[in-house]
């Protein structure tokens, strides 16, 4: 079945450091890929998405590129801020008859210190 694997956390960085959170996936066909963010005590917000190979999703300084050859969708940000502290989830939607379903990774806790 479909699966998503994220790098182990938690990740602790100083403000203005470079961020990478690795995400790899297993899926049949051509899934769409997503990054969601969850701030403390809140629900999930879509951060960015990509629907086909080589697409780059971007939002709020975060970027991720859909790499079909390596089945990856790594999240990057050049300079993190304290306000980026949150839990980040990589997810996929397999499409077809599975449009209504998302498969999530286990989440990566990011803490950014001043």
Selected from 19, 27, 34, 94, the binder of another protein by CB under 8 A is: 34
- Count the neighbouring beta carbons within 10 Å of the beta carbon of residue 87: 18
Selected from 11, 22, 24, 51, the binder of another protein by CB under 8 A is: 51
Applying CB under 8 A, the site for another protein has a residue count of 24
> What one-character DSSP code corresponds to residue 45?
E
Selected from 56, 60, 68, 101, the binder of another protein by CB under 8 A is: 101
- Cα pseudo-dihedral 20, 36, 33, 28, rounded to 10: 110
Whose tokens are 């590129």? That residue is 65
- Point out which residues bind another protein (CB under 8 A): 4, 32, 34, 42-46, 49, 51-52, 89, 91, 93, 97, 99-107
């Amino acid at each position: 079945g479909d699966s998503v694997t994220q790098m182990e956390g938690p990740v602790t960085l100083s403000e203005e450091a470079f961020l990478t959170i690795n995400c790899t996936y297993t899926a049949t066909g051509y899934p769409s890929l997503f990054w969601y963010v969850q701030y403390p005590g809140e629900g999930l917000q879509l951060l960015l998405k990509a629907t086909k190979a080589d697409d780059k999703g971007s939002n709020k300084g975060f970027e991720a590129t859909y790499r079909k050859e390596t089945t990856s969708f790594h999240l990057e940000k050049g300079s993190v801020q304290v306000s980026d502290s949150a839990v980040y989830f990589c997810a996929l939607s397999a499409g077809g008859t599975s449009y209504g379903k998302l498969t999530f990774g286990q989440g990566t806790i990011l803490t950014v210190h001043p």
